[in-house]
Each structure stands twice: as C-alpha cells, then as structure tokens.
Amino acid sequence: MMTELRCFLSGMRFDRKLAWSFIAFTMTVSGVVLGMCLFLATGASETSRQEKYAVVAGLLGQIVVHGTDTTIESAMEELGVDRSIVAVCAYSGGEATRLLYTYQSDAQGKACGPTLAELSKDDFLAVVSSEKYGSLNVVLHARNQVLSDFIKSIWWSAMLVMATSIVCAFGFASWLGKRLLMPIVSLLEVISSVRLNKEYQLRAPKFADDEFGQLCDDFNDMIAGVERREKEVLAARRELELRVCEVDVSNRELSGTLQRLKQTQEQLINTEKMASLGALVAGVAHEINTPIGVGVTAASTLVGTTESAMRRYKEGSLTQSALTLYWEQSLSASKMILGNLDRAASLIQSFKRVAVDQSNNEIRRFNLGEYLAEVMQSLSPQVGKAGLSYQLECEDELLIRSYPGALSQIVTNLVMNAISHAYPNGENGNLSLKVRASAAGEVALKFTDDGIGIPAEHLARVFDPFFTTKRGSGGSGLGLHIVYNLATQQLCGRIKIDSELGMGSSVSLFFPQDVGKVGFYE
C-alpha cells in the first residue's frame, strides 16, 4: 500500500502536491478546532443544564407545596415546551417516601416509581421544605440532548466553514504552486529547448532575486560557457575539416609525386640495366674486333697466295717447292682464320646468352658454374681494359633453378661497380668470385676485390637508391640498389657487404637453389 502511495505521489505534479497538502492541513486544523469547540461547548452546556434543572426542580417544588391544582397543571404545561424534561416526580420526605405527584411528557418516556429510587446522572433532585409533608423531594428526569442538539445546530455552519476553507486552501495552494513553479517551469522549457534543438543562445528569465533567481543566473552562466565552448568546438571542427582537406590534397599530390618517382626510378633502373648491357655490348664488340680483324687479314693473305699459285699454275711455272709452300701457307692461314672465328663465335655466344637472360625474367634450370663462366667471359674485355684479372671458383655440376638474368645482372653490376670505385686511379687488381652450395639447399656467392675499400660512414648507404660518390663522373647511384632488389626480391635471398679502407670489399649473396619452392621472403 505504501509503495503504491509513494509511486502515486512521485508521479504527481508539484502544484497538485502542494494543493493536496494545504487541503489536508486545512481539514486537520478545522477538525481539531471543531473538536475543541464541541468539547468546550459540551462542558459549558452540561454545567448550565445542571444549574437550570436544579432551579426548575426547586420552582416546581414550591409550586407543588404552595400552588393549587390549576397552577400545577399550568406549570406542567409550560414544562412541556422543554422537550429535554421527560418526567417530574414529587415524593414525600422521611424514611418511607411515597409518590405524591407525577408528570410525564411522553408516554414512552421514563415513568415515576412508587418510591424514591436511586438517581441516575440524568435525574435532578430538589428538596423543598413543607409543613404538610415535612420535606418534599422533587425529581426531574431529563433527556441528554445537549450535545446532539448543539451538533445539529452548528452542523451546516461547520460544513460550510470547512468547505469554504478547503476551496480557499485549494485556490491558494494552486496560486502559490504556480507562483513558485513559474521560474522552474520557465527554466525547464529553456533546458528542453537546449537539449532538443541545441539552442545554446537561449537564457532562462529571472523573476526575482531569490534562490530561484540565483539558480537561473547559475544556469545562464553555465549555458553561456557551453555556448562558448560549442562555438570553439565548431571553429576547431571547421579548421580541422580545412586541414583535412589540405592534407588530402597534399596526400594526393604526394601520391602522384611518389608514383612519378617510382616510374622515374623504374625508368632509371631500366636505363641502368640497358647502360650496363650497352657497356657489355661495347666491350664484346671491341673484343670481337681483334679475332675478326686477324681472320680477315689471314683470309686476305690466303686469297693473295691462292691467286698467285693459280697464275703460276696456268703459266706452267708452278714448281713442286712453290706448291708445297702454298699448301703450308694455306693451312696456316686456314687455322688462323678458324681459331679467330671460334674465339669470336664463343664471345658472341656468351654475350647472346647473357643479353637474352638479362632481358628475360623466366625461371629455368642451369649449371651455375658454366653460366657464371660465360658471364665473366663476356665481362673479360672490361676487366682486361681496366688492368684487372679475375678468378672464378665454383663447384662442378652445381645445378640450380632460378633466374639466370638476375644473376648475370648482379655479377655484371658488382664487376662494373668494382672497376669504377675500387680502382679509381687505374691500379692493377684482382677480382674473385667464389660459389658454394650448403646442405640446407642454399647457394652462397661471394664477390671480393682488393681495391681501396668503402668508408664506414658510406657502408650503411651503399644499397640506397641514387647514392653514389661519383655523381659528377657519370655515376647514377642505382647499380648496387639494383643488386639489392634483385637479390632480395627476385632471387628470394639476402645480401650483405663488408669493407675496410685499404683492404678491399666483399659482397656476400645467399639465395635458394630452387627459387620456385620459396613462397615468400622476409
């Protein structure tokens, strides 16, 4: 029951609560006042009734003693007007009382007994001296209607007063509730508008300099701070959006620039590859020029000797010794022509394989030792021209399945880099290429030179793109970068370089024997 009452009160509006509180207070006060009035009125009525009935009983006793029957009857008729007197009984005095006279206003009321009995609280006794009876006892039997008559007399007045008090209390409570709630209702409307519509420019009206006014001032200060922070947040958001747009534009520009740089880098790498291939072509062409020139000279000599022998044969002057000399010269020239043509053919074949492999990115199975020998043979013109010599050490019948073009490009770049940087002043030197296979199915290729070495501050940057110490002498800075990319990406291997100033350099390359079995490289 208390829970339902608490829920009912919690859901009621404040002005209704205030009105019902005033009504309950008014009804309580009215009930207390009415009860006190009834209590006081009852006590006063009881006292006056006792005094009244004592006087009436005395007067009736005097009338009974001294009056006539007519007088007594007239007096009794007068008593009939007071409906609270039920009966009047007159008894003789003495020890043996007897009923002398009786009057009864209502046949159904209390009757007089033959003798004087014990009196109740509603009976009033008056003793009158009489010569005839000695003493006369007059008893009045009364009806206790004072309280009921009084309540009846004031009932409608009390109801009217209570109804008027309740109406006034309800009206005053409603007026007071609205008066008290007006600042709160106005504040709630502003709060609702701010919460729903984000109207931070609204302010709560101030009705008086009281607690509610202080509350409105504090709320207005708070909402002003919120409005200020909201403006700051909006400004920061706009600035952030502008910055994001600027960053997006910059990112697009950077992305385009990076794409162009990648394309340029790829073009430069391809150009570097073609340049190394062009240098290889120039060296091979220069190297082929000698055997072909010797062959052409020998062929010209053979032609001249043959023509001389034919002319002498036609003239009949060809002797046995001249014929023998011709045969010896023809055989020598033929051998010279054949040897030089074989040498040229070998150079051309090596160059052809290397050039085709460098321009082709296909995997195939090949003998690593034989292939590296062909690569080094195609590079022998540049090596010899630089005054260098080389040694190749490789296990026999070392078959691998990989990219021959990548390997030839790596070896070519290493040799050309050593010629350009390890021996800057044309010193004589030795290049070494050692290859071995491990039990784990990995090939170790080590290229060394005995040149001037690499400074320590440059050692960590030699594989970076466009890093070179001969920028003004034709260096592009892509040779070792191409080597690093081919070794780590295409051959799925790893590469490192070691060097000390004056002690030469060493490049170690490790790659799998079968690159097709490697899914990825980390």
The pLDDT of residue 46 is: 60
DSSP-assigned beta bridge partners for residue 392: 433
Helix (H) or strand (E) holding 176: helix 146-197
| Mean pLDDT per 10-residue interval, the chain, length 522 residues | 57 61 71 68 60 71 71 70 72 71 66 74 71 70 61 67 75 68 74 77 74 78 83 89 90 86 69 60 64 77 81 80 80 77 69 56 85 85 85 88 86 87 84 88 91 86 77 63 85 90 90 77 40
Which of 87, 85, 166, 96 shows the shortest CA–CA distance to 133?
Answer: 96
Beta bridge partners of 437: 443
pLDDT of residue 328: 78
How buried is residue 471: exposed, middle or buried, by Cβ count under 10 Å (0-12/13-18/19+)?
Answer: exposed
Rounded CA separation 508/522 (Å): 18
Predicted pLDDT at 511:
92
CA-closest candidate to residue 61, choices 117, 104, 124: 124
Number of H helices, E strands in the chain: 10, 11
Please tell me the distance from the alpha carbon of residue 62 to that of residue 80, in angstroms, as a whole number: 18
Question: Which residues face 134 on adjacent strands?
Answer: 130
Q: Is 354 exposed, middle or buried (0-12, 13-18, 19+ CB in 10 A)?
A: buried
What are 473's two structure tokens? 């002498």
- Tell me if 404 sits within 8 A of 368, measured CB to CB: no
Q: What is the pTM of this model?
A: 0.43
What proportions of the chain, in percent to the nearest 5, are helix, strand and coil? Answer: 65, 15, 20
| The pairing of beta strand 429-437 with beta strand 388-394 | parallel
pLDDT of residue 522: 40
Q: Is the distance from CB of 414 to CB of 447 less than 8 angstroms?
A: yes
- The closest alpha carbon to 412, from 252, 324, 244, 280, belongs to 280
Give the number of other CB atoms < 10 A from CB of residue 463.
Answer: 18
Please, are residues 513 and 443 in contact by the beta-carbon 8 Å criterion?
yes
Confidence at residue 444, expressed as pLDDT on a 0 to 100 scale: 92
